[in-house]
Chain A
Amino acid sequence: MIRELHQKLINQKITSEKLTEDYFSRIEKKDPEIKAYLSLNKEFSLDKARAVDKKIKNGEELDLLAGIPCGIKDNICIEGLPATAGSKILENYISPYDATVIKKLKESDSIFLGKTNLDEFAMGSSTENSAYQTTKNPRDTSRVPGGSSGGSAAAVAAEMCVYALGSDTGGSVRQPASFCGVVGLKPTYGLVSRFGLIAMASSLDQISPIAKSVEDAAIVLTRIAGKDRKDATTIKSGDTIYENCLTGDIKKLKIGVPKEYFSEGGLDPKVRKLAEEAIKKYEKMGAEIIEISLPSGEYALATYYIIMPCEVSSNLARFDGIRFGQSIEKEMGLNENLILQDIYFKSRAKYLGKEVKRRIMLGTYALSAGYYDRYYAKAQKVRALIKKEFEETFEKVDLILGPTAPTPAFKIGEKTENPLEMYLSDIYTVTANIAGIPAISIPCGNVRIKEKDLPVGLQLMGKWFDEETLLSAAHTLEQSA
């Protein structure tokens, strides 16, 4: 889609201004119901679009993303715009700087339509934990769009932006992509700079594109990847042109199918059937399908629910009502006899949401004196075990295939009462974050429930920094549909 729009722009069949206006009018029409956006950036976007049109008129060479409107998850900082992270504690926060990915997209002359909704601080699987609004699934508005990047996925699915950025810590881009019928790509840990992403769990977070097609996701990845001095964990130079790697050649490809992913009790039989059909398609196109076993995978979710809250408890210590965001001090007036510590306790109590507090508490406990070895150290050992298992598996196969989520989109309100049940919707996606490997969710069909076609995603996982093979295989399946 990006390539076609780019052609139209440079051939002056359409202007970026008109394209941007069209997207805003669609947002004005659809978003009062879908609620994908938290804030819009209309005036600035149109100015930027006109500047791109001028460059086109002057015959300047333009990047593929120039003049193309996108949505940005509201935990990624854009200078001069709000970045609430879906939390009341950052309600008035205006980012004073650009995230590295934003700086890079600005160099490509991207148009930022607005900031998209998310579960508070990206903690959730449905956007129901957003302190502002619950986004609805454009395919069936009684259902969730998935989360935490639900606003980004819904905006792409409802054509309220061409592509979007989300962040993926345990499946937060792939699971909503699966629920909304779009493509979500989590890169290898360390490929994309996290500078300017409001941190949730730093050893797991990756900024990730959501798009209409694999090619679009590849185009965006090419532009946002690369080493950054502001994020010491970025260790690969960003010189691969991923959109040029979509060769369609899968003849020598070995695809591993973990038996555990298909024997899972919670797996919806209709989802299983669609994943099995995708396996058959790959086989027919000449790939070799190999049954594999990932026994340590059953510990992935438990490992995640130790490591993630531990990092959360540390990362979110900065939201204390002192340096930015909401503070209880404003509310209690100057006469109150408060000391510094009261500001911490009361600001955090009032402006952080339930799930966020729950995870901070859990992480604080797991890291507290006397429990560190039992929880955090143990989880880091199991993480090493899981990584080792993937290393061994990738000696035998190039990719690993399975469902993205055990079910299609669930109903709004269906899982809010039981945090553990909500956590289980990430069962297939967390492993890639635990192991640091790249993974993509692509649409593989629909299941019909109550006269609505609900999309289902297929997940492919690849070797560390081998996004080429991953994207190429995903592209080939997509083209065969």
Chain B
Amino acid sequence: MLSKQQVQKIANLARIEITGEEAEKYLKELSDILGFVEKLNEADTDGIEPIAHITDAKNETREDKIIEYSEETKTGIIKNFPEKKDRFDKVKAVF
């Protein structure tokens, strides 16, 4: 079972602002799901390595080459910036 402080801490790590009321709700819902996944502890995984890739793909490489995109694509990316100055993405101060 999680505590309300833990829920607030998780929300902080996830960068999501939550109200005290929401924290209560998450507390119950997350605890329910965590209770459900406890089932995994019944599985005997002694000597089993955690799987990294399901199709056994390993170090798939490709040529390290710059691919030019059209001006249209570049402008399309810039248009999606919520705030911009010229062709730059404008952000708030860090501190």
Binding site for B on A (CB under 8 A): 79-80, 92-97, 188-190, 203, 229, 232-233, 235, 296, 298-299, 302-303, 305-306, 313, 317, 320-327, 329-330, 338-346, 348-349, 352, 357-358, 360-362, 364-365, 368, 375, 377-385, 387-388, 419-420, 435-436, 464
Using Cβ atoms and an 8 Å threshold, which residues of chain A touch B53?
203, 233
Using Cβ atoms and an 8 Å threshold, which residues of chain B touch A235?
55, 57, 60
User: Known: A96-B77, A348-B15. Contact between A322 and B55, CB under 8 A?
Assistant: no
As a 0/1 sequence over residues 1 to 29 of chain B, the CB contacts with chain A under 8 angstroms (1 = contact) are 01000110011011111100000001001
Measured between C-beta atoms, what is the minimum distance from B19 to chain A in Å? Answer: 9
Using Cβ atoms and an 8 Å threshold, which residues of chain A touch B34?
362, 365
Interface centre among B50, B81, B95, by most A CB within 10 Å?
A: B50
Is there contact, CB below 8 Å, between A79 and B60?
Answer: no
User: Known: A322-B82, A323-B80. Contact between A385 and B43, CB under 8 A?
Assistant: yes
User: Known: A235-B55, A436-B54. Contact between A385 and B48, CB under 8 A?
Assistant: yes
Which residue of the partner chain, among B2, B32, B45, B63, contacts A420 with CB atoms under 8 Å? B32
Is there contact, CB below 8 Å, between A352 and B55?
Answer: no
User: Known: A296-B43, A303-B40, A345-B15. Contact between A362 and B93, CB under 8 A?
Assistant: no
In the complex, 24 of the A-B residue pairs with CB atoms within 8 angstroms, ordered by the A residue number, are: A79-B73, A95-B76, A97-B69, A190-B57, A203-B54, A302-B39, A322-B82, A322-B89, A323-B82, A329-B83, A338-B92, A339-B92, A340-B94, A342-B92, A345-B16, A345-B17, A349-B16, A360-B16, A361-B26, A378-B45, A381-B43, A381-B49, A383-B54, A387-B51
Measured between C-beta atoms, what is the minimum distance from B93 to chain A in Å? Answer: 6
Which residue of the partner chain, among B74, B83, B94, contacts A327 with CB atoms under 8 Å? B83
Is there contact, CB below 8 Å, between B45 and A385?
Answer: yes
Is there contact, CB below 8 Å, between B54 and A361?
Answer: no
Using Cβ atoms and an 8 Å threshold, which residues of chain B touch A189?
54-55
Interface centre among B32, B54, B62, by most A CB within 10 Å?
A: B54
Which residue of the partner chain, among A302, A320, A338, A435, contacts B40 with CB atoms under 8 Å? A302
B91 an interface residue at 8 Å Cβ cutoff? Answer: yes
Q: Give the complex CA separation of A55 and B12 in angstroms.
A: 57
User: Known: A233-B55, A324-B82. Contact between A361 and B30, CB under 8 A?
Assistant: yes
Using Cβ atoms and an 8 Å threshold, which residues of chain B touch A464?
55
User: Known: A361-B26, A368-B13, A375-B37. Contact between A232 and B93, CB under 8 A?
Assistant: no
Q: Give the complex CA separation of A314 and B25 in angstroms.
A: 23
Q: Give the complex CA separation of A364 and B7 in angstroms.
A: 10
As a 0/1 sequence over residues 54 to 88 of chain B, the CB contacts with chain A under 8 angstroms (1 = contact) are 11010010110000010011111101111100000
Interface centre among A188, A317, A326, A365, by most B CB within 10 Å?
A: A365
Which residue of the partner chain, among B7, B18, B33, B48, contacts A305 with CB atoms under 8 Å? B33
Q: Give the complex CA separation of A344 and B82 in angstroms.
A: 13
Which residue of the partner chain, among B13, B60, B79, B92, contacts A233 with CB atoms under 8 Å? B60
Is there contact, CB below 8 Å, between A435 and B54?
Answer: yes
A79-B73, A302-B40, A357-B16 given; name 8 further pairs at CB < 8 Å.
A94-B80, A96-B76, A203-B53, A233-B55, A302-B37, A360-B16, A379-B40, A380-B51
Task: Report the nearest B residue to A328, measured CB to CB.
Answer: B82
Q: Give the complex CA separation of A263 and B89 in angstroms.
A: 56
Q: Give the complex CA separation of A384 and B63 in angstroms.
A: 31
User: Known: A323-B81, A382-B45. Contact between A362 and B54, CB under 8 A?
Assistant: no
Using Cβ atoms and an 8 Å threshold, which residues of chain B touch A436?
54-55
Using Cβ atoms and an 8 Å threshold, which residues of chain B touch A357?
14, 16
Measured between C-beta atoms, what is the minimum distance from A228 to chain B in Å? Answer: 10
Using Cβ atoms and an 8 Å threshold, which residues of chain B touch A323?
80-82, 89
Q: Give the complex CA separation of A155 and B48 in angstroms.
A: 44
Which residue of the partner chain, among B26, B33, B38, B91, contacts A322 with CB atoms under 8 Å? B91
User: Known: A338-B92, A364-B14. Contact between A305 and B51, CB under 8 A?
Assistant: no
Is there contact, CB below 8 Å, between A229 and B92?
Answer: no
Using Cβ atoms and an 8 Å threshold, which residues of chain A touch B18?
349
Using Cβ atoms and an 8 Å threshold, which residues of chain A touch B41?
378
Using Cβ atoms and an 8 Å threshold, which residues of chain A touch B60?
232-233, 235
Measured between C-beta atoms, what is the minimum distance from A465 to chain B in Å? Answer: 8
Task: Report the nearest A residue to B18, measured CB to CB.
Answer: A349
Q: Give the complex CA separation of A18 and B41 in angstroms.
A: 59
Using Cβ atoms and an 8 Å threshold, which residues of chain A touch B13?
364, 368
Which residue of the partner chain, among B16, B43, B81, B95, contacts A339 with CB atoms under 8 Å? B95
Is there contact, CB below 8 Å, between A360 and B14?
Answer: yes
Using Cβ atoms and an 8 Å threshold, which residues of chain B touch A324?
80-82
Q: Give the complex CA separation of A425 and B40 in angstroms.
A: 19
Q: Give the complex CA separation of A401 and B2 in angstroms.
A: 39
Measured between C-beta atoms, what is the minimum distance from B53 to chain A in Å? Answer: 8
Measured between C-beta atoms, what is the minimum distance from B15 to chain A in Å? Answer: 4
Task: Report the nearest A residue to B81, measured CB to CB.
Answer: A323
Measured between C-beta atoms, what is the minimum distance from B73 to chain A in Å? Answer: 5
Measured between C-beta atoms, what is the minimum distance from B46 to chain A in Å? Answer: 9
Is there contact, CB below 8 Å, between A325 and B80?
Answer: yes
Using Cβ atoms and an 8 Å threshold, which residues of chain A touch B10?
361, 364-365, 368
For the complex of A and B, list the 8 residue pairs with the smallest distance between their C-beta atoms, beginning with the closest: A96-B76, A380-B50, A327-B82, A436-B54, A381-B45, A324-B80, A349-B17, A384-B51
